Structure 1
Amino acid sequence: MTRRAVVIGAGIAGLAGAALLAREGYVVEVVEQQDAVGGRAATWRHAGFTFDLGPSWYLMPEVFDHFFRLCGTSAAAELDLVALDPAYRVLREPSSGPGTAEALDVRTGHARELFEAREPGAGERLDAYLASAGETYDLAVREFLYRTWASPSALLDAELLRRAPTLARLLGTSLERFIGRRFSDPLLRQVLGYPAVFLGTAPDRAPALYHLMSHADLTTGVLYPRGGFGTVIDAVARCARRTGVVVHTSTQATGICTRTSNGRAHVTGVEVAAGGRSWVIPADVVLGAGDLHDLETRLVPAPLRTYPERWWRRRDPGPGAVLVHLGVRGRVPQLTHHTMFFTRDWRTNFDAILGPRPRVPSPASMYVCAPSRTDPGVAPPDHENLFVLVPVPAQTAIGSGGLDGGGDPVVEQVADEAIAAISRWAGVPDLASRIVVRRTVGPADFARDLSSWSGGALGPAHTLRQSAMLRGRNASAHVDGLLYAGGSTIPGIGLPMCLISAELAVKRLRGDASPHPLEPHPHEQHPLELHPREQHPLDQRAVIA
């Protein structure tokens, strides 16, 4: 009998889940409310610029390699990856005039020298720190990331029990304290603490377990897919297309249909609406790959919700963000591909965003990506492409963005201050006068366009109460056949985690409770033909119905 699956959301988790479900033998349709695929990792093209709208760090390459291997191909065949050197630059808020910010260029494999130069003895301590980070990273991959956590008995795993004392120390200590016990220099502490932002939280709120993130950037390195992160989405979409997956864009899921048999509910399909009409797509399995809050509180019938509204009131949505996309005339050599701007009073900055009395911070720490420093193709000749991310509270009242300063006042004020800070901190005095494209995005845009809970930019924060088995699960407790994937479920935030979440959905269907990644199907262990990336442009007619 034909088995049918419907995937809600065509971000990376939805497209990856669709590809893997099709390889399990399902006939798969994807519904996406936006007019293009990608979700948070979508692309905006304007006036010769190609802007990534969200993710911009290619970390944990082995996760991408594994996913593509499951699909019978490879990252090398699908993407044109380049290693960044330096991996990123750090600028610390200047205490005097323009261009006087402390600057550090962080180079993969050379952090020891950098640390030692700023703090005698810190090089040796960094060696120990990174050894611990690498060991913890390996443990996370072996025991945590690829588990479905379908049962609490997973905690009785022999290796987890053996490592329990170490894990308890790492979980019971904040990342900020863990770093502070080892290093004194404020800027070095910030270099090691900033990965907490990737996890949707602050160093004083993240468990020290997450020092494993430093293994990813300081040891493994940072890559960039030439052409931008839209090429990653295109590659995952190709994997789905090759298996016959159909994607319906500009189509909104309006409800999940169920039937009850022997006291249990089971999915039967998804109600959708597009172009002024509505219909039901039948399904034996539904994979919700959008925001979990939206899926549960809007689409699942109230009596069948695993995560009703009261559950969310006790959860942390993580930060919101104001995004600023800038097309700049002329070059900006003062920036590297990734540049981190850190305020001196870091704790006050984080408290403004995540504390009990949220407010937009000023001055604000921020992140600037200048992909045109590596990839001239994402901007017209003699221009730069700048993507600015300013963390703010996850509050839709902050407003929406717009083109050429046309967003809501608070959003545009954040953008103005960010441009001024880049100019002053990095020493680019004429930056504002050289801007030829300006687009802003605010928390209200995240809520409207991505159905993001509270307008959050990343997903629920990786605090202790929202990590591993304590995070939103990937299967409904009350509706058989209803699965979840994406950044708001296990294992967490970020493109690699979203790829793993898609795989976990398949493991749920198989009843696979092991901590191990899936193995490729036997006929895909050694694919006979891997087509060059250039031979696989995304055929919109084949993928989008």
Structure 2
Amino acid sequence: MNKKIIIIGSGFSSLSAACYLAQSGYDVSVCEKNDSVGGRARQFEQEGFTFDMGPSWYWMPDVFEKFFNDFGKKTSDYYQLTKLNPAYKVIFDQNDEITIGDNLDTIYETFEAVEKGSSDKLKKFIATAKDNYQIAIDKLVYRPGISPLELVTSETITRLNRFFSNISKEIRKEFKNEKLIKILEFPVLFLGAKPSATPSFYSFMNYADFGLGTWHPKGGMFQVIQGMVDLAKSLGVQIHTNADVTKIEVKDGQCTGINVNNTFQAADMVISGADYHHTETLLDKKYRQYSEQYWEKKVFAPSSLLFYVGFDKKLDNIEHHNLFFDTDFDQHAKSIYDDPSWPEEPLFYANFTSKTDRDTAPKDHENGFFLIPLAPGIEDTPELRAQYFNKIITRFETLTNQKVQNNIIFKESYCVNDFIKDYNSYKGNAYGMANTLLQTAFLRPKLKSKKVDRLFFTGQLTVPGPGVPPSLISGKLVAGIVASEYKLDSKAILSTT
């Protein structure tokens, strides 16, 4: 009889682990507390508009392709991709913007037009970023974070300076124009920390940005989730929604199953893709690995104030992805990391998938997704949400030279309290734990419990870190550990890791 494994949560990491483990011979069930799958990558629909509720950037397409290839499939078997051109627009002021194209030659020209001589510097910078990317993908991110020796390779030993310098410092050595600096610092924000606190090795995100491009799955990021669900079901995975796990049961130091909707379900093993901190609260205190003081000291990625907005007209002077960098980034960053508070004048991001994907909004309408990064754990009230929407929509009108407020059909918001309620997210963080030097690889919370046998973890608070591609990898890593430790057929997992 096949070993029974229960996975808590149905986000990218959970579905990834479910697919690998089912392929390796496990009897796999997924328990999702909400009424739809996807975790933070759920989809929201209203009045003919479709919104991805969380992740909206499709970067590192090779990681997605590799995931489906591991099962003899291709991404195109499940969803259709379009490479965006331009990839995104950065707005610095009214009539002052830079668009990032879909290939390196165009981007070099863009940089040169802004700062003479910067194209040659960018070529050198991207060459290093590409080198970092290849090392990261080939040598590092598919390691399970068990030992510091995982980081010791011939490639990393000769590049130690890239781990002990920070990316902001490296960028500012070469580039003087503040607009170009902001564009180059932007990609590492996906890792959850300030550029000044992120090792320069993570410039591989710049190669992911400029070198590999920005893509859009037709129908939205949820189509990736749907593809993973279809794959999982084809492998025999059972997925249960509205399944709220309230306790992880342990006997004699070994996980025996879970209580879900007040009913005990036995399992040979349990993997949690839910919030790591929350998962440990489902255990009796003596079985928890990390104290409250441990979590308090960690650097968490931001939370977010999100708005899903339906407009009854097509909007001008916008692209699919838009970054509004018209205010002081350093001041906003201080309010996130140094003095947790609501920022006075926040930077914000907006995407309009209906610019690329007409089916995500009714004809001659536009769907708008607005995001303000915030410190986790701060006060969240309807009044503050309204105040900050007014701030950004007023600036949006000025910066894009159009009136839009009278064209809003509906507006829904999502913030700290919702992240806590829907995802049991620690302090309402949106992206997990930041990838700082002291929170990288083996220094992150472990994939395998140190106190409970047959209990495992996956997702953005563990290895390799925040983001959608790392979550896919995290699911593969934990599945590899399970399969190798319990002597099942691990070849399908480990041979591609």
- Asked if the contact 2:111–2:180 (Cα under 8 Å) also holds between the matched residues in 1, the reply is yes
Mapped to 1, the partners of 2:454 and 2:78 lie a distance apart of 32
The aligned counterpart of 1:151 is 147
Match of 2:246? Answer: 254
Partners of 2:375 and 2:428 in 1: how far apart?
9
Return the match for 2:312 from 313, 322, 329. Answer: 329
Map of 1:32 onto structure 2 = 32
Which residue number in structure 2 is paired with residue 302 of structure 1? 285
Seen in structure 2, the aligned counterparts of structure 1 residues 158 and 322 have a Cα distance that, compared at 3 Å, is closer
2:205 alignment partner in structure 1: 213
Given that 2:447 and 2:462 are in contact with CA atoms closer than 8 Å, whether structure 1 keeps it comes out as yes
Could you tell me which residue of structure 1 aligns to residue 96 of structure 2? 101
Query: Are 2:165 and 2:199, in contact at CA under 8 Å, matched by a contact in 1?
Result: yes
1:415 and 2:403 correspond: no
| Alignment pair present for 1:338 and 2:321 | yes
Deviations 1:362-407 (A, max 9, x none): 32111111100000000000001111110111125224xxxxxxxx
**Preserved CA contact (<8 Å) 1:108 1:217:** no
Which residue does the alignment assign to 1:531? none
Once residues 14 and 387 of structure 1 are traced to their aligned partners in structure 2, the CA distance between those partners, rounded to angstroms, is 25
2:189 maps to which residue? 197
Amino acid at match of 1:497: P
1:360 aligns with 2:342: yes
Native 8 Å contact 1:289 1:485 kept in 2 = yes
Tell me, in whole angstroms, the C-alpha distance in 1 between the residues paired with 2:164 and 2:146: 24
2:217 match: 225
* 1:135 match: 131
The alpha-carbon deviation at position 485 of structure 1 amounts to 0.8
Equivalent in the alignment of 1:369: 351
Deviates most, 68-77 or 123-132 = 68-77
Say if 1:447 and 1:455, in contact at 8 Å, map to a contact too. Answer: yes
**Alignment partners' CA distance in 2, 1:158 and 1:49:** 49
Secondary structure of residue in 2 paired with 1:397: coil
Equivalent residues of 1:324, 1:389 under 8 A apart: yes
Rounded to whole Å, the distance in 2 between the matches of 1:268 and 1:79 is: 38
Contact persistence 1:87–1:108 (CA under 8 A): no
What's 1:537 paired with?
A: none
Q: Give the match for residue 176 of structure 1.
A: 168
Partner SS state of residue 231, structure 1: helix
1:130-185 residue CA offsets vs partner (Å, 9 max, x unmatched): 00000001101122100012234434x442xx532523x12222211111001000
Match of 1:166 in 2: 159
Residues 24 and 492 of structure 2 are in contact (CA less than 8 Å); yes or no, is this contact kept in structure 1? no
Q: Which moved more, 1:103-112 or 1:137-146?
A: 103-112
Kept after mapping to 2: 8 A contact 1:85/1:107:
yes
Kindly state the Cα deviation for residue 310 of structure 1 after the two structures are TM-superposed.
2.1
* Separation of aligned partners in 1, 2:396 and 2:328: 17
1:316 equivalent in alignment to 2:318: no
Check 1:312–1:29 CA distance in 2 against 1; reply closer, same or farther (3 A cut): same
Equivalent of residue 491 in structure 1, options 441, 455, 464? 464
Query: In structure 2, how many angstroms separate the alpha carbons of the residues matched to 1:396 and 1:350?
Result: 14
SS at match of 1:480: coil
The 5 Å alignment of 1:58-137 reads 58-92=58-92, 94=93, 99-109=94-104, 110-137=106-133
Q: Distance in 1 between matches of 2:100 and 2:23?
A: 44
Judge conservation of contact 1:343–1:349 (CA < 8 Å) in 2.
no
Deviation at 1:308, TM superposition (A): 2.5
Deviation at 1:518, TM superposition (A): 6.9
Q: What is the rounded CA distance, in whole Å, between the counterparts of 1:47 and 1:344 in structure 2?
A: 34
- Superposition TM-score, scaled by structure 2 size: 0.95
1:436 paired residue among 391, 399, 409: 409
3-state DSSP class of the match of 1:194?
A: helix
1:307, 1:461 → 2: CA distance? 17
Deviations 1:93-116 (A, max 9, x none): x3xxxx333343444322111111
Residues 503, 518 of structure 1: 8 Å contact kept: no
The 3 A distance-change label for structure 1 pair 350 and 445 is: same
Q: What TM-score do you get using the length of structure 1 for normalisation?
A: 0.87
Out of 455, 458, 461, the position equivalent to 2:431 is 458
Q: 1:446 aligns with which of 403, 419, 441?
A: 419
3-state SS of 2:297 partner: coil
Indicate whether 1:266 and 2:258 are aligned.
no
2:204 is aligned with what amino acid? L
CA distance in 2, matches of 1:234, 1:510: 25
SS of 1:204's partner is helix
How many residue pairs get matched?
A: 491
- The offset of 1:127, in angstroms, is 0.3
Question: How far off is 1:519 after superposition?
Answer: 4.6
Preserved contact between residue 342 and residue 378 of structure 2 (Cα < 8 Å): no
Letter in 2 for 1:362: E
Partner amino acid for 1:102? E
Secondary structure at the residue paired with 2:210?
helix
Of 357, 379, 398 in structure 2, the residue corresponding to residue 424 of structure 1 is: 398
* 1:240 is the counterpart of 2:232: yes
**Cα distance per residue 1:402-425 (max 9 Å; x no partner):** xxxxxx111121122111121111
Kindly state the Cα deviation for residue 449 of structure 1 after the two structures are TM-superposed: 0.7
Letter of the 1:389 partner, please give it: L
Indicate yes or no: 2:19 matched with 1:23: no
C-alpha distance in 2 between matches for 1:51 and 1:60: 21
> Any conservation in 2 of the 1:34–1:249 contact (CA below 8 Å)?
yes
1:291–1:451 contact (8 Å) kept in structure 2: yes
- 1:321-372: CA deviations, max 9, x gaps? 10011111111131101111113422111111211x2221132111111100
The percentage of counterpart residues that share the same residue type is 32
Paired with 1:519 and 1:184, the residues of 2 have a C-alpha distance of 48
Residue type of the alignment partner of 1:415:
F
**What is the Cα deviation at residue 225 of structure 1?**
0.2
CA–CA distance in structure 2, aligned partners of residues 2 and 519 of structure 1: 17
Between the aligned partners of 2:57 and 2:28, the Cα distance in structure 1 is: 30
**Contact 2:257–2:265, Cα closer than 8 Å, also in 1:** yes
Output the CA distance in 1 between the equivalents of 2:430 and 2:491: 30
SS state of the match for residue 286, structure 1? strand
Deviations 1:225-266 (A, max 9, x none): 001111111000011111221112111111111222xxxx22
Q: What residue is the counterpart of 1:538 in the other structure?
A: none
Q: Which of 450, 465, 487 is residue 477 of structure 1 equivalent to?
A: 450
Range that drifts further, 81-90 or 109-118: 109-118
Contact 1:272–1:279 (8 Å) recurs in 2: yes
Q: Secondary structure at the match of 2:162?
A: helix
